[in-house]
Amino acid sequence: MKKLSMNEMNVLSNEISKRINEKKYESIKGKLEKDVDFKKLEKLNKEVNELNKKLNEKRSLNNEIVNKVRSKFNINSVYIDNNNEVKVMFNNLNVYNDLVLYSIGKDLNIEELINNIVNKYS
């Protein structure tokens, strides 16, 4: 008798498990079809699938509109914040050079520095 490889053993094990499950299912199939809870489960599963389909359609529409808004206003991302409000984020700016330039040889006024850079990029 040939010694089975690990892959062959896995395939055989999966096939045996599949056939055992099919036999067990067939033995209780009639009872399941009459069971009130199983019928509720089937009905609920259909409802969940319908809701998921609608949700996927809404997500697709949402993504389409997000992309339109992003390109129209040159926005990096549109997101929902913790208060469930739609927010936007613009492309990250590299303000490091400005920080250095505005602070060279001057008394550093943080608020003025921030305002100068904000005004430059907004």
What DSSP line would sit under 72-97, residue for residue? HHT-SEEEE-TTS-EEEEPPP---HH
Query: What's the one-letter identity of residue 83?
Result: N
Q: Can you tell me the distance from the alpha carbon of 41 to that of 34, in angstroms, rounded to the nearest whole number?
A: 12
Domain positions in the chain are: 30-91, 92-122
Using a pLDDT cut of 90, give the percent of the chain over it.
Answer: 58
Q: What does the mean pLDDT of the chain come to?
A: 90
Q: Can you tell me the distance from the alpha carbon of 116 to that of 90, in angstroms, rounded to the nearest whole number?
A: 18
- Band of the pLDDT at 99, cuts 50, 70, 90? confident
pTM: 0.57
Phi, psi of 89 (to 5 degrees): -135, 130
Q: What is the mean pLDDT of residues 5-28?
A: 95
